[in-house]
Chain A
């Protein structure tokens, strides 16, 4: 490792300026649980770390009934899943954020970091997509909004332009007729990377699904939005057959690889299993409200 520079951003504009000055080898530092490891192992060439953990917008955690939940890009996961409102209204975020790394990692890691790292196996991504997450991105040319569903473009790649950074992620307000859940499959019970994962959000009208979003992780080069699986639910009651159809639709769009973590056959199958399980979890959550 070479000598590196560290800069603490005073505000969003300062972070943008520092990032611009640092050029290609400047990176935003949130929790550092991916970035510092990558730099230390010489898998990423970084010579300036721009720390945004001292800027309020990056560390926010706010909810109101009109604008929903806003999570700063560097807000640590333990704050997120420790928050009563999040536990009550966004349990799918708790599902995902409590299994990323271990306790020590969760003290530093963040949704924004998980999104910025853009791993196809990023645990929180399908949960964020299912919940309709919208990222606020800032850069030299001003601010814009990007849905989490459209954020990733390939393994480790995303829509951020040079000099842009993620400020926060917003999730729409939820009602009692909505429920969501996230699950992953790992061979161990913790300290593992998803072989496959799925996030489901459903909104019921009576017993009929009025709206749904389903997302898959680790079964393609990016997290996938399983539109067909959601469509299989919408307008229907959640019978075993309907849920199974959604599972089939989910696995039909999986295009995984075989590697040391899982095989094509296994991951394609798990896309169905996890989709079905998260639909049932989401329904249970609505019914228990």
Chain B
């Protein structure tokens, strides 16, 4: 581990067991599918067999008549359903689209789009009932490719859609029907002048397929709309509060009428931020007066929950002979799926973030397609844009005959340099990461063998701040109940209590963390954006300070001294001035906890805070791989991920996050992709044919933690979970060239595509 002026911590940096671990490995953890309620019935969704079709009519009469069926729902059951494709004001359009994605409005916009739902005594009856629903479709030609969708004459998804412009000086044909939902631009300096200064200019185009998050637990939700008007929802979500608010928006009921209880979550990676089943279960519950539970089959997960965007990129970079980048001009188009809102905005801001480039234009295009609406997926948008940039840089390094790390070091962004938006960076660890890569034994090792190659690339992600809330109670024995609003997808029930224990000087084990429902803690934004250990840690630190202050007040009362004369030690001891006889006065944390009830009551504190000082983070990856020229198959021989993690609160879980991100990135580089037939049908909606890597596809993924503490956090935390998915695609692509001399311009570089190049 590379450490720079690392403070000495007692708890932070240790590796205690996570509190949810035993329940998970023994099968006791309660996931949404485990939920049992008195009178529970089961809901299922009928999905469109067509990628693009007008829904002329839906007849549910026969389904409703089937014995055991309690309720049927369609888009018409969502308030405000207008069955219209008229142009809407932006805010209203978003609400309309959110509802229409859950159950189709006037059109089915992708294969697997929900069309109607039923609730019945059991799932078998529900499925029989779905087969009795008669839907009349008028089939339309679909468009599933980003570039096709921008062509004149392409099928149009939304007749009311006009291009929104978020940049000055961008021409758009905003009076005509289009699939181009928005066009944004970031611009700095003078690119024309910049390219004139360049000795070498390289321009390349890239595409990538849609990739799914691939979480193991399918989406699920249960709802009980009781007769007093209160709606209770149990769901697998990355954000109980966002799920609550989105449900309220679609059902048009007050937020306070909904309580969302987050269940254990079996993976999300961004894909469990949107809601899919909650409003349907709610409507079915209201109609049936019964609690309704729903879950998706795996095929529905692939068909109808967010993959990440497919992409088209064009990147032009000019450099001097010395390797200094003089200008960059990038265009990124991303497929949003059926409704506007691809992650292109974030991708645009990340594309050039590792580098200090004075002259740059970065364009982002958001394009609708007849594919599932994309959802966030680990550093949303960044893997595609940085893949293109890092690939062009590899070609430039080759043309300059320069070490690819040296080329990056010659341009690396440092504190004070400005990013694409013009904002100066605070302390960041990009340079430290590159230096750690360059001196890493992996990079220094020889590579040998036929068709074996090495590649490197770096990646960047902002990380998120946003709002988090928690409350804490000190019990009479000194144990502490810590109630958190953040659902735990990555070990935050360990990483947040560790920070509170550090603050208070108590043990990790005496803090009992719990994730609770939306009625029982303050508003907390989603667990996403690598924000939770950062923001949750901030709140835990603030709660710790409040507890320390109150503990001093209580000791002051007992000793009858001014609280200002009392100190709180790093070991959690409360020390006062010596008494009249000169004896030392002090309490351990637990001793004083035992006196709280007689000095004003047990301590209960709560805090909500929103810090915008999250630290951006960089990672750099090195891979050695071997290509089988006969089959096109790639074997990963060695993989090293170097990353600035700020402070590794729990190093094992940090390493696990990085290894997980790398594994997913390798999947994107080599085998994962949505495969559509000519009619827009998704043909590989299963884990058999959507090929995420299995354990024996990968070697041990080595992790090198670089710790450049975030100055905007009491313990220097930077988010760690998203950066590692960014570099693998270009890292592997660059190594493929080293191995077999072929430059690839599409991901995944599946065996089929490799053979296409070699044969």
- Point out the residues of chain B lying under 8 angstroms from A270, CB to CB: 631
Q: A266 at the A/B interface (Cβ < 8 Å)? A: yes
Q: Select one of B631, B691, B756 contacting A273, CB under 8 A.
A: B631
- Point out the residues of chain B lying under 8 angstroms from A1, CB to CB: 124, 127
Minimal beta-carbon separation of A237 from chain B (angstroms)? 23
Q: A25 at the A/B interface (Cβ < 8 Å)? A: no
- Point out the residues of chain A lying under 8 angstroms from B687, CB to CB: 191
Q: Select one of A2, A189, A259 contacting B683, CB under 8 A.
A: A259
Contacting B at CB under 8 A, from A250-280, are: 259-263, 265-266, 269-270, 273
Q: For A272, give the chain B residue with the smallest CB separation.
A: B630
Are the C-beta atoms of B689 and A260 separated by less than 8 Å? yes
The CA of A187 and the CA of B634, in the complex, are separated in Å by 9
Are the C-beta atoms of B688 and A191 separated by less than 8 Å? yes
Are the C-beta atoms of A265 and B756 separated by less than 8 Å? yes
Contacting A at CB under 8 A, from B620-636, are: 630-633
Interface residues contributed by chain A, number (CB under 8 Å): 22
Q: A198 at the A/B interface (Cβ < 8 Å)? A: no
Given A259-B683, A261-B689, A262-B752, are A189 and B631 also a contact pair (CB < 8 Å)? no
Q: For A191, give the chain B residue with the smallest CB separation.
A: B694
Binary per-residue interface labels of chain A (162-205) against chain B in the complex, 1 for a CB within 8 Å, 0 otherwise: 00000000000000000000000101111111010000000000
Q: B49 at the A/B interface (Cβ < 8 Å)? A: no
The CA of A270 and the CA of B632, in the complex, are separated in Å by 10
Contacting A at CB under 8 A, from B731-759, are: 750-752, 755-756, 759
Q: Identify whether the interface residues of B are mostly helix, strand, loop, or mixed.
A: loop
Q: B675 at the A/B interface (Cβ < 8 Å)? A: yes
Q: B136 at the A/B interface (Cβ < 8 Å)? A: no
Minimal beta-carbon separation of B307 from chain A (angstroms)? 15
Are the C-beta atoms of B696 and A190 separated by less than 8 Å? yes
Given A269-B755, A269-B759, are A189 and B694 also a contact pair (CB < 8 Å)? yes
- Point out the residues of chain B lying under 8 angstroms from A195, CB to CB: 751
The CA of A188 and the CA of B670, in the complex, are separated in Å by 9
Q: For A2, give the chain B residue with the smallest CB separation.
A: B124
Given A1-B124, A265-B759, A269-B759, are A189 and B697 also a contact pair (CB < 8 Å)? yes
Q: B671 at the A/B interface (Cβ < 8 Å)? A: yes
Contacting A at CB under 8 A, from B631-684, are: 631-633, 670-671, 675, 683-684
Contacting B at CB under 8 A, from A47-103, are: none
- Point out the residues of chain B lying under 8 angstroms from A189, CB to CB: 694, 696-697
Are the C-beta atoms of A260 and B675 separated by less than 8 Å? yes
The CA of A262 and the CA of B693, in the complex, are separated in Å by 17
Given A266-B751, A266-B755, are A188 and B671 also a contact pair (CB < 8 Å)? yes
Q: For B122, give the chain A residue with the smallest CB separation.
A: A1
Q: A42 at the A/B interface (Cβ < 8 Å)? A: yes
Minimal beta-carbon separation of A40 from chain B (angstroms)? 10
The CA of A266 and the CA of B750, in the complex, are separated in Å by 11
Minimal beta-carbon separation of B628 from chain A (angstroms)? 9
- Point out the residues of chain B lying under 8 angstroms from A263, CB to CB: 752, 756
- Point out the residues of chain A lying under 8 angstroms from B759, CB to CB: 265, 269
- Point out the residues of chain A lying under 8 angstroms from B693, CB to CB: 188
Are the C-beta atoms of A266 and B688 separated by less than 8 Å? no
- Point out the residues of chain A lying under 8 angstroms from B670, CB to CB: 187
Contacting A at CB under 8 A, from B246-296, are: none
Binary per-residue interface labels of chain B (232-251) against chain A in the complex, 1 for a CB within 8 Å, 0 otherwise: 00000000000000000000
The CA of A151 and the CA of B756, in the complex, are separated in Å by 34
Q: Select one of B127, B696, B750, B756 contacting A187, CB under 8 A.
A: B750
Minimal beta-carbon separation of A257 from chain B (angstroms)? 12
Are the C-beta atoms of A260 and B127 separated by less than 8 Å? no
The CA of A262 and the CA of B689, in the complex, are separated in Å by 11
Q: Select one of B124, B632, B691 contacting A266, CB under 8 A.
A: B632
Given A260-B684, A266-B632, are A190 and B694 also a contact pair (CB < 8 Å)? yes
Are the C-beta atoms of A188 and B755 separated by less than 8 Å? no
**B124, B632, B689, B752 pick with most chain A CB within 10 angstroms:** B752
The CA of A273 and the CA of B696, in the complex, are separated in Å by 23
- Point out the residues of chain B lying under 8 angstroms from A187, CB to CB: 633, 670-671, 691, 750-751
- Point out the residues of chain A lying under 8 angstroms from B750, CB to CB: 187
- Point out the residues of chain B lying under 8 angstroms from A259, CB to CB: 683
- Point out the residues of chain B lying under 8 angstroms from A188, CB to CB: 671, 691, 693-694, 697
- Point out the residues of chain B lying under 8 angstroms from A266, CB to CB: 632, 751-752, 755-756
The CA of A112 and the CA of B46, in the complex, are separated in Å by 36
Q: For A273, give the chain B residue with the smallest CB separation.
A: B630
Given A259-B683, A260-B675, A266-B751, are A192 and B691 also a contact pair (CB < 8 Å)? yes
**A42, A187, A192, A261 pick with most chain B CB within 10 angstroms:** A187
The CA of A190 and the CA of B697, in the complex, are separated in Å by 8
Are the C-beta atoms of A193 and B688 separated by less than 8 Å? yes
The CA of A8 and the CA of B429, in the complex, are separated in Å by 67
Minimal beta-carbon separation of B694 from chain A (angstroms)? 5
Contacting A at CB under 8 A, from B592-625, are: none
- Point out the residues of chain B lying under 8 angstroms from A185, CB to CB: 631, 633, 751
The CA of A273 and the CA of B136, in the complex, are separated in Å by 49
Minimal beta-carbon separation of B518 from chain A (angstroms)? 36
- Point out the residues of chain A lying under 8 angstroms from B756, CB to CB: 263, 265-266
Contacting B at CB under 8 A, from A1-55, are: 1-2, 42
- Point out the residues of chain A lying under 8 angstroms from B694, CB to CB: 188-191
Minimal beta-carbon separation of A209 from chain B (angstroms)? 23
**A1, A185, A188, A262 pick with most chain B CB within 10 angstroms:** A188
- Point out the residues of chain A lying under 8 angstroms from B688, CB to CB: 191-193
The CA of A273 and the CA of B628, in the complex, are separated in Å by 11
- Point out the residues of chain A lying under 8 angstroms from B697, CB to CB: 188-189
**B631, B633, B756, B759 pick with most chain A CB within 10 angstroms:** B631
The CA of A273 and the CA of B758, in the complex, are separated in Å by 14
The CA of A187 and the CA of B630, in the complex, are separated in Å by 13
Minimal beta-carbon separation of B251 from chain A (angstroms)? 32
The CA of A190 and the CA of B687, in the complex, are separated in Å by 12
The CA of A190 and the CA of B689, in the complex, are separated in Å by 12
The CA of A189 and the CA of B697, in the complex, are separated in Å by 6
- Point out the residues of chain A lying under 8 angstroms from B675, CB to CB: 260
The CA of A198 and the CA of B107, in the complex, are separated in Å by 46
The CA of A187 and the CA of B675, in the complex, are separated in Å by 15
Contacting A at CB under 8 A, from B363-387, are: none
- Point out the residues of chain B lying under 8 angstroms from A2, CB to CB: 124
Minimal beta-carbon separation of A285 from chain B (angstroms)? 20
Are the C-beta atoms of B696 and A265 separated by less than 8 Å? no
Q: Select one of B127, B633, B751 contacting A42, CB under 8 A.
A: B127
Q: For A268, give the chain B residue with the smallest CB separation.
A: B759
The CA of A86 and the CA of B670, in the complex, are separated in Å by 36
Q: For B689, give the chain A residue with the smallest CB separation.
A: A260
The CA of A259 and the CA of B630, in the complex, are separated in Å by 20
Q: For B670, give the chain A residue with the smallest CB separation.
A: A187
**B127, B633, B687 pick with most chain A CB within 10 angstroms:** B633
Q: For B682, give the chain A residue with the smallest CB separation.
A: A260
Minimal beta-carbon separation of A79 from chain B (angstroms)? 24
Are the C-beta atoms of A265 and B755 separated by less than 8 Å? yes
- Point out the residues of chain A lying under 8 angstroms from B632, CB to CB: 266
Minimal beta-carbon separation of A161 from chain B (angstroms)? 31
Minimal beta-carbon separation of B627 from chain A (angstroms)? 13
Minimal beta-carbon separation of A34 from chain B (angstroms)? 12
- Point out the residues of chain B lying under 8 angstroms from A193, CB to CB: 688-689
Binary per-residue interface labels of chain A (124-158) against chain B in the complex, 1 for a CB within 8 Å, 0 otherwise: 00000000000000000000000000000000000
The CA of A226 and the CA of B255, in the complex, are separated in Å by 68
Taking A188-B691, A191-B694, A266-B755 as known contacts, 16 extra A-B pairs with beta carbons closer than 8 A to each other, sorted by chain A number, are A1-B124, A1-B127, A2-B124, A42-B127, A185-B631, A185-B633, A187-B751, A192-B688, A192-B691, A193-B688, A260-B684, A265-B755, A266-B632, A266-B756, A270-B631, A273-B631
17 intermolecular pairs with C-beta atoms under 8 Å apart: A1-B127, A42-B127, A185-B751, A187-B633, A187-B670, A187-B671, A188-B671, A188-B697, A189-B697, A191-B687, A192-B691, A193-B689, A195-B751, A260-B684, A261-B689, A265-B756, A269-B755
Nearest 6 interchain pairs by C-beta: A260-B675, A260-B684, A260-B683, A273-B630, A189-B696, A266-B752
